[in-house]
């Protein structure tokens, strides 16, 4: 019974780690897109009437990247949680760092990417209305 639970926890840790790698790949890719879009905007130098829309789109893009970054950190914390003893209330994130985090805190962290995504969508809609 104990071996089965340990095997399950190790498998979940492996899957969480693979998901974290996918998030990091997307974060780098979207940062590349964000920088490319910013460079294009700088070269285009549109009229001043587009300034409010450009600022809104920039904040939306920033929040989208923040969403990906926080999701990546959340996934890495979840990966570390699978190595914690079963039924513990907190765990140490890294053997090097003497920082413990509770599962309740993890649930709060999980809400930040959702909030960033909602705000990014709002900035996008605001930017469209300013065009």
Could you give the CA distance from residue 35 to residue 33 in angstroms, rounded to a whole number?
5
For residue range 10-66, list pLDDT tens digits in order: 788 788 778 877 877 787 677 667 665 665 665 566 667 677 777 777 788 888 888
Total structural domains within the chain: 1
pTM, two decimals, is 0.68
Q: Which of 96, 105, 99, 98 is nearest to 78 (CA)?
A: 105
Could you give the CA distance from residue 97 to residue 54 in angstroms, rounded to a whole number?
41
The boundaries of the domain holding residue 62 are 2-129
DSSP string for 97-116: S--EEEHHHHHHHHHHHHHH
């Amino acid at each position: 019974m104990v071996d089965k639970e340990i095997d399950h926890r190790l498998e979940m840790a492996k899957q969480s780690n693979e998901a974290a790698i996918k998030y990091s790949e997307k974060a780098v890719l979207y940062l590349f897109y964000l920088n490319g879009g910013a460079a294009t905007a700088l070269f285009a130098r549109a009229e001043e009437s587009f300034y409010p829309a450009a600022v809104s789109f920039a904040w939306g893009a920033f929040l989208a990247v923040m969403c990906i970054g926080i999701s990546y950190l959340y996934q890495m914390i979840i990966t570390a949680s699978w190595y914690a003893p079963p039924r513990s209330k907190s765990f140490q994130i890294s053997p090097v760092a003497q920082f413990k985090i509770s599962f309740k805190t993890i649930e709060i962290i999980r809400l930040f990417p959702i909030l960033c995504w909602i705000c990014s969508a709002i900035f996008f809609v605001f930017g469209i209305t300013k065009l």
